[in-house]
Amino acid sequence: MELTGAEIVCESLLKEGADVIFGLPGGAVLPLYGALANYPKIRHILVRHEQAAAMAADGYARATGKAGVCVATSGPGATNLVTGIAAAQMDSVPMVAITGQVPRPYIGTDAFQETDVTGVTLPITKHNILVMKVEDVAQAIHDAFYIANSGRPGPVLVDIPRDVLLGAKTEFIWPETHKLPGYRIPGPADETEVIAAAALINQSQRPLIMAGHGMLISHAYSLMTEMAEKAQIPVITTLLGISSIASDHELNLGMSGMHGMAYANLAIDEADLIIGLGMRFDDRVTGRISAFAPNAKFVHVDIDASEIDKNVQTDIGVCGDLKSVMEQLLPKVEPNVHIDWLRHIQELKDQHPSHIVRQSEELLPQYVLQRLTEVTQGHGIVVTGVGQHQMWAAQHCLFREPNTFITSGGLGTMGFEVPAALGAQVGRPDTTVWSVCGDGGFQMTMCDIATAVESGADVKFAILNNKNLGMVHQLQDVFFEKDYMASEFSANPDFVKIAEAYGIRGIRVTKQEEVVDAVQQAMETAGPVIVDFMVKEDEIVFPFIPSGQSVNEMLEEPAHNGTS
Amino acid sequence: MAQINEIEQHTLIALVEDKPGVLNRVASMFRRRGFNIISLAVGNSEQAGLSRMTFVVNGDYRTVSQVAKQLDKLIDVLEVADISEARIVARELAMIKVSTTPMTRGEIIQIVNLFRANIIDVGGDSMIIEITGEGDKIDALYDLLSPFGITEMSRSGIVAMERGKSNGLTDGHKNNNVHSNGTGSS
Ligand SMILES: Cc1ncc(C[n+]2csc(CCOP(=O)(O)OP(=O)(O)O)c2C)c(N)n1
């Protein structure tokens, strides 16, 4: 079969099972669009801004476990992808970004719309490839998917010059193998390390599991729950580990860290063993590292050897695929009851009930989420933006099934809520996707509501509208003497009218008693819906461990700090 | 760990694919993570298509093992080993151009002979001296030549190798290899 470079890209995408791609065309990548017209099996979703293409690919990937694909033209198209690629890199999300490049003879001449995209994305991709020969296109796409999906997943960018896409017809040979001699994928761990880890677990009196994104990526959650139950070990989830254990499981202590549950943070402070599983002891989790889990030893399991001993010095580091390691570990962990430890944790929970929403006359954002999650009963997917609403969603939404909470953790990317939700909905069309939005973040990417409408992505947008950049406002409230410089909006648009302008339903909610009805109506309406919840404007996210501090400096909601 | 922590300078060697952009990836990783390279030398290895890099880096054991792991994570890097504690030979080449006068020439030649260095070019009022050795030896020669007026110096960066019979990097360093595992190479 003799094909052009662009046709080879399409054939290769089909070989890789990429049936949905998100993109926006331009001159350098146009030959690819010319070929796509003849490949109806590849569904192209046209975005309004390339940032949305990358973030939709991200949401799609997180929801399905398959690499998400985004396409952009050279120069500004490619640079518009950058934020989305960086977010995928930070959160270990498999993504393949395909960019057009200026024709080979123009490379290095500052030609029109020339950007050194492999240079720009070098530190924010797992790998990137500039394809300089049409014969190399298939191998590049094949390698890109392999690298993106395997080991610790991540984004891979493939930059293809326009003349390579147009290239003279070349024999299409699908490479069955990869020539990547420097790339190894850890499998099961060294048995001696697992034995040592099990010994520490079996000896410990006050153990805690901390489960991260790796738990979901490697599908190790059932084994983890089994281990937790067998040895009665409480489980804390990082922001990205949420949904790796059912919210109502009696051993689930929820999220810890900066805005984590007070009792989870206090338990960490007293634990004698932290078992970090597929997580990376990020600063939002640890606070001041020297004061983190001061009484604990550390077992750390991760597929990325460079994460072990990076942030905390571990006692036993185990490098391997988490699911394989859990299979090795589970039989070696002895049954236990940890009666005193569990009783003590229950006391901490009773004294510091951070999960309880206080009574109020006003429409509290936490209250909205609590009602919403009651209506959905924890089914479906929740996607968030970044800020207060994200933390409240992490604290108050219920999750029953694994991998149903999608949020930009590592990069903390505002605007993620709109495109990532649409990508998740495209990937899991039978699932209800609720996008919990900030009014700030929503306005960063709301142009892509059009994309949701056009592609039939049935996303329900819940804007927690506090008329400000809430998280920034909160920091100013606490640390900058309430000097609200540049964090209040005086001219937010009418989001109900925005909905109507896009031809979809908009609902405004101003009172508590309207919440459940609005959520139900949104779910009963076919197609995207925007619900504008006019919430209390100056609410603070508690608990709150200020950046770089420890659990000793934790601020709790006045009613929750042990006296109630 | 205590005595390991005291090691300040580490010598790492890496086997990398000989492809465009690899040096950029390596350098970018060092810069981004704030690691300090004291010396870097790159050249062909004994295997076609692979280059060998020798790094000298500063840091305690934990920092340097982070460097090694981050290096190893790069797709184009095949193998990394910290050979600081192995029996190694390390050499660097330097060329030093020093000013000369009829009065000083004899004394300079004496110093050069003492160091078993070579004079590789003689001009009317300068000469170029080539020296190979460990960094200390080059520094000592530099200090002795300084009073005569050094007008140029170029150093190659250190290259290092473990003593004894090992078969290149791939099988020679099982013990100080940073991979703790790695099933199924692709
Ligand atoms: C792209 C981007 N710009 C700036 C920030 C810094 N930031 C973090 S939270 C936040 C406020 C978010 O406001 P909003 O989306 O309304 O959510 P809220 O905190 O009010 O729930 C800002 C500006 C960010 N995380 N991402």
pLDDT single digits (tens) A495-535: 999 999 999 999 999 999 999 999 999 999 999 999 999 99
CA of A436 to the centre of ligand 1 (A): 13
Tell me if B185 and A310 make a contact (CB, 8 A cut-off).
Answer: no
Phi, psi of A19 (to 5 degrees): -100, -5
* 8-state DSSP, A468: B
pLDDT at B169: 65
Q: Which of A136, A143, A180, A183 to mutate to test the interface with B (most CBs of B within 10 A)?
A: A183
Q: Tally the residues of chain B.
A: 186
Pull the structure tokens for residue A256: 């810890």
Which residue from A107, A53, A48 is spatially nearest to A78, judged by alpha carbons?
A53
Distance from CA of B32 to the nearest CA of A (A): 8
Per-residue pLDDT band for B7 (boundaries 50, 70, 90) equals low
The verdict on A57 and A196 lying in the same domain is: no
Helices A388-396 and A470-479 meet at what angle, rounded to 10?
Answer: 100
Instruction: Please spell the DSSP secondary structure of A30-57, one letter per residue.
Output: HHHHHHHTT-TTSEEEE-SSHHHHHHHH
- pLDDT of B181 over the 80 cut: no
pLDDT at A193: 97
Same fold? B8-86, B90-159: yes
pLDDT at B184: 33
pLDDT at B1: 39
Instruction: Please spell the DSSP secondary structure of B130-181, one letter per residue.
Output: EEEE-HHHHHHHHHHHGGG-EEEEEE---EEEESSS--HHHHH-TTTBS-S-
The verdict on A204 and A285 lying in the same domain is: yes
Domain ends where: A324, A351, A378? A351
Provide residues with CB under 6 Å of ligand 1.
A 385-389, 412-415, 438-441, 464, 466, 469-472
Chain A residues within an 8 Å CB radius of B181? 186-190, 319-320
Pull the structure tokens for residue A277: 């599983």
A552 in a domain, yes or no?
Answer: no
Which residue from A24, A56, A50, A44 is spatially nearest to A418, judged by alpha carbons?
A56
Strand order in the sheet with A207-211: A252-255, A235-237, A207-211, A273-277, A297-302, A316-319
Phi, psi of A517 (to 5 degrees): -60, -40
- Compute chain B's Rg from CA coordinates: 19
Residues in chain A, pLDDT under 70: 561-564
Task: Give B175: exposed, middle or buried? Use CB within 10 Å, 0-12, 13-18, 19+.
Answer: exposed
CA of A80 to the centre of ligand 1 (A): 19
Tell me if A320 and B21 make a contact (CB, 8 A cut-off).
Answer: no
- pLDDT of B185 over the 70 cut: no
Ordered by start, the domain boundaries in chain B are: 8-86, 90-159
Chain B residues within an 8 Å CB radius of A181? 17, 78, 185-186
Chain B residues within an 8 Å CB radius of A177? 186
Are the CB atoms for A156 and A126 separated by under 8 Å?
A: yes
The verdict on A406 and A383 lying in the same domain is: yes
d(CA A173, CA A74): 27
By C-alpha distance, the chain A residue nearest B32 is A123
The verdict on A195 and A145 lying in the same domain is: no
pLDDT at B5: 52
Q: Touching check for A192 and chain B: CB below 8 Å?
A: no
The verdict on A195 and A321 lying in the same domain is: yes
- List all residues of chain A from 196 to 235 with a beta carbon under 8 Å from chain B: none
Per-residue pLDDT band for B8 (boundaries 50, 70, 90) equals confident
Pull the structure tokens for residue A120: 């720009």
CA of A253 to the centre of ligand 1 (A): 26
A440 in a domain, yes or no?
Answer: yes
A535 in a domain, yes or no?
Answer: yes
The verdict on A86 and A235 lying in the same domain is: no
The verdict on A373 and A285 lying in the same domain is: no
Q: pLDDT (tens digit, 9 = 90+) per residue, B40-87? A: 999 999 999 999 999 999 999 899 999 999 999 999 999 999 998 889
CA of A478 to the centre of ligand 1 (A): 16
CA of A20 to the centre of ligand 1 (A): 29
The verdict on A36 and A150 lying in the same domain is: yes
Ranking A358-362, A386-390, B93-97, B164-168 by mean pLDDT, the lowest is B164-168
d(CA A425, CA B71): 37
Chain A residues within an 8 Å CB radius of B179? 184, 305
Looking at CATH, the fold of the domain delimited by B90-159 is given as Alpha-Beta Plaits (3.30.70)
CA distances from A14 to A11, A47, A67, A137, A194 (A): 5, 21, 13, 14, 40
For residue A215, give the CATH number of its domain: 3.40.50.1220
Among B32, B62, B77, beta carbon nearest to A123? B32
pLDDT at B90: 93
Homologous superfamily (CATH) of B8-86 is: ACT domain (3.30.70.260)
A458 in a domain, yes or no?
Answer: yes
By C-alpha distance, the chain A residue nearest B185 is A184
Query: Can you give the residue range of the structural domain that contains A118?
Result: 2-171
The verdict on A412 and A508 lying in the same domain is: yes
Which residue from A203, A232, A225 is spatially nearest to A277, judged by alpha carbons?
A225
Q: Considering only CA atoms, which residue is closest to atom 3 of ligand 1? A: A414
3-state secondary structure of A197: helix
- Compute chain A's Rg from CA coordinates: 24
Among B78, B179, B181, beta carbon nearest to A189? B181
- List all residues of chain A from 158 to 177 with a beta carbon under 8 Å from chain B: 177
**Mean pLDDT of all residues in chain A?**
97
Task: Give B44: exposed, middle or buried? Use CB within 10 Å, 0-12, 13-18, 19+.
Answer: exposed
pLDDT at B164: 86
Q: Which of B75, B79, B169 to mutate to test the interface with A (most CBs of A within 10 A)?
A: B75
CA of A501 to the centre of ligand 1 (A): 25
- pLDDT of B174 over the 90 cut: no
The verdict on A110 and A144 lying in the same domain is: yes
Per the DSSP assignment, residues forming a β-bridge with B88 are B162
Chain A, chain B: beta-carbon pairs less than 8 Å apart: 75
Index of the ligand 1 atom closest to the CA of residue A442: 15
Tell me if B75 and A181 make a contact (CB, 8 A cut-off).
Answer: no
pLDDT at A559: 76
Q: Whole-prediction pTM value? A: 0.95
A559 in a domain, yes or no?
Answer: no
Q: Touching check for B179 and chain A: CB below 8 Å?
A: yes
Task: Tokens 């505002």: give the residue.
Answer: A414
The verdict on A336 and A392 lying in the same domain is: no
d(CA B17, CA A514): 62
A358 in a domain, yes or no?
Answer: no
Counting the structural domains of chain A, the total is 3
Index of the ligand 1 atom closest to the CA of residue A415: 1
A85 in a domain, yes or no?
Answer: yes
The verdict on A37 and A106 lying in the same domain is: yes
Index of the ligand 1 atom closest to the CA of residue A387: 19
Pull the structure tokens for residue A387: 């800020």
For residue A145, give the CATH number of its domain: 3.40.50.970
CA distances from A557 to A78, A357, A471, A541 (A): 44, 10, 16, 8
Alpha helices in A129-282 (DSSP H): 137-149, 162-166, 191-203, 213-217, 221-231, 262-270
Among B21, B76, B180, beta carbon nearest to A182? B76
